[in-house]
Structure 1
Amino acid sequence: MCIEDCKPDGGEYKCKTIDKDGRSQTMYCSPQENVDYWGRQCRADSMCGKYGEDYCWCRINIFSWGYCGLVKDDKMLIEIGTGTHITSRHRNKRAPVVIDTVDDEGNHIKTTFLAEAAPDDITDGKHWKNDAENLISRWENGYLVDQAKSNLIKSGNLRIDMQGIIKHNNQRYYNLQIQVNVQRKKGESTTVAQILIPDGIPERYVRRAFTESFNRRAKVSIEVKKY
């Protein structure tokens, strides 16, 4: 099992472990439950498991599958078989998962959508689903501003706020949130979506990020790389 955090390494997730002879080794791991070691989400009908093999795996889509590992609470960490890599949920609760990658080969630009589960920070917004979809559909990049500002777009129950600009991956990112239009109570979150986006991305990507964040209760960021 992992003795350190499960971290990305060259596109794969790896962690440190100790073999039966007491030597430190590197092995593949899953950053979150039902995610393979590439950070790809397992299909809903194919959760991470052995399925008759001596290793854990899951189907990613109808064409591909991936190795994965079990994620357990610290007190439940146990080795259950050769090839099974168990990761502490506590260590990896902030590990981002790749939702999708868009490769613009013509312009040599790769755009990656990443989700970081945040159920404590992002509240369940299912009661405002229609309202959220309408709000997101109205997004245009002209609403972006260079300082914190509330009510960029507003509906009856929700609003989009600009929380400020942060440094992320040595780039300037906008921190945008969808908030419920109620007074916040102590210990409760009024955020139903949060995204981090760099300059210059298409509006449809911003809308996609908001939708993914709302549906997943996750902080979604977009990374853009030229090659």
Structure 2
Amino acid sequence: MYERKDLLPPLTSSSSPQRRGIEMADRRRRPSPLFTFILCFSLWFTPGQTVDSFFGMFLQQCIEECPAKYFTSTYGVPCTDSCDKRGSDYYWCHSSSGWDYCSPGVNIDYFGSTCRNDHPCGNYGEKSKMCYLDRGGWSRCSQVEPKAMIQNTINLQECKTHCKYYDSGDYFWCNTYDNWDYCSPLPDITYRDVKCRAGHKCGTYGEAYSWCYTSFNDDWDYCGVIHPGECAYSQSFRRKRQPDFPNVICTTEGDNNNRRVTTFTEEGQSSIMANINNRMRNEALNLINQWDNQRLSEQARSNLISSDHLRIDNQGLINRNNQRCYNLQIQINKARGSSESTTVSQVICPLDTPADYIRTAFRRSLERQARVIVEVNDGPSTSPNNNNNNRKCCKRRKI
């Protein structure tokens, strides 16, 4: 598995579209632009539709099990394959440090038993993670991080790591479960950070790879599709005088017929954000990839993570809609002048927001040049009760 890309052959998007021996079909015979539905249904609001009726439709049609990133118990490193029993009576996976025990779900031990809510999976002064079980006694467990979005490469492989910018080659890439490949850091952007043209989303269009037109002269390039995990994009833009509908919606179902809906909504004008070039934006995307919640505390603190020109600050806690929230900002490392903004991304989110949700909110704020508000609402599930759960919303894995 490659960790550096110095020997990576560049792709081209010339008028002779060939790639690794595969000839691309004549672009003039491409199908006409289509809307690409993110799930099996349209997430666009229809005339006269309310937020409540939209949520009602959305919550009935989701994937069955929440995708997640699994970590090992002893080493605390990511699993390189699935967390499963494989014929044993416990769950385990392979990792860069060798095989190890793992938890198949959030707050579940490596045998599949549930941890108590008041003693969830944690270190408790030990090197390995432990939890106290509902049935009594301590047991091994490991971190399970939900995936807000699933990034695919241009060759339709799932990214195992974050989609990272490689400065020397001026492209984005990620490790896959087999090797590595090119990817897109944001929806409808090529692997070389060029926007897909309006009305032509990143997709396969009958090919064995994903691509999009980048101009109305039919220039094209490769891109990676970003699929919904626990979250899905609700709409791509907001019309004039349209209410502030959420742009991203994340839905999970618990084990006691409870449902949690997390919404990401843009707020404010782009004037509150600093203008940055593509190179600094790509530096910000790499900085966001490094984010984890271990650096958070209830006290304001600067330089939680930093890079050459940027840093992430915790501006302290604020109260919003009866929720205590972090005020997190990506700042340019320079003194702020009069009437000048040094903020390039801002997220306001509740204290228990998962790390991948915060990364998603940072990326959305960076992309849209607006503050992103993350709000959480808990309530009873409205999903139909059937045997195979095919129409249930994203459900935490429970053994």
Give the TM-score band, short-chain normalised: 0.5 to 0.7
Q: 1:117–1:216: 8 Å Cα contact kept in structure 2?
A: no
1:83-162 correspondence runs (5 A): 87=241, 96-106=244-254, 107-125=258-276, 126-162=278-314
- Distance verdict in 2 for CA 1:204–1:129, change over 3 Å: same
Q: 2:303–2:313: 8 Å Cα contact kept in structure 1?
A: yes
- Distance verdict in 2 for CA 1:110–1:103, change over 3 Å: same
Across the two proteins, how many residue pairs are aligned to each other?
Answer: 151
* In 1: Cα distance, 2:328 partner to 2:339 partner: 21
Q: 1:101–1:111: 8 Å Cα contact kept in structure 2?
A: yes
Q: TM-score, normalised by structure 1?
A: 0.59
* In 1: Cα distance, 2:245 partner to 2:334 partner: 31
* In 2: Cα distance, 1:201 partner to 1:70 partner: 29
Deviation (angstroms), 1:148: 1.4
- Distance verdict in 2 for CA 1:217–1:170, change over 3 Å: same
Deviation (angstroms), 1:69: 9.6
| Aligned counterpart, 2:113 | none
| Aligned counterpart, 1:169 | 321
| Aligned counterpart, 1:60 | none
- Distance verdict in 2 for CA 1:156–1:69, change over 3 Å: closer
* In 2: Cα distance, 1:69 partner to 1:169 partner: 23
Corresponding position: 1:182 with 2:340? no
Deviation (angstroms), 1:10: 5.8
- Distance verdict in 2 for CA 1:112–1:188, change over 3 Å: same
Deviation (angstroms), 1:217: 0.4
**Aligned amino acid, residue 223 of structure 1:** E
* In 1: Cα distance, 2:352 partner to 2:310 partner: 25
1:21-36 correspondence runs (5 A): none
Q: TM-score, normalised by structure 2?
A: 0.35
Secondary structure, counterpart of 1:205 in structure 2 = helix
| Aligned counterpart, 2:218 | none
Deviation (angstroms), 1:99: 0.8
Pairwise CA RMSD of aligned residues? 3.0
Gapped regions of structure 1 (runs ≥ 5)? 1-8, 13-42, 47-64, 72-86
- Distance verdict in 2 for CA 1:130–1:224, change over 3 Å: same
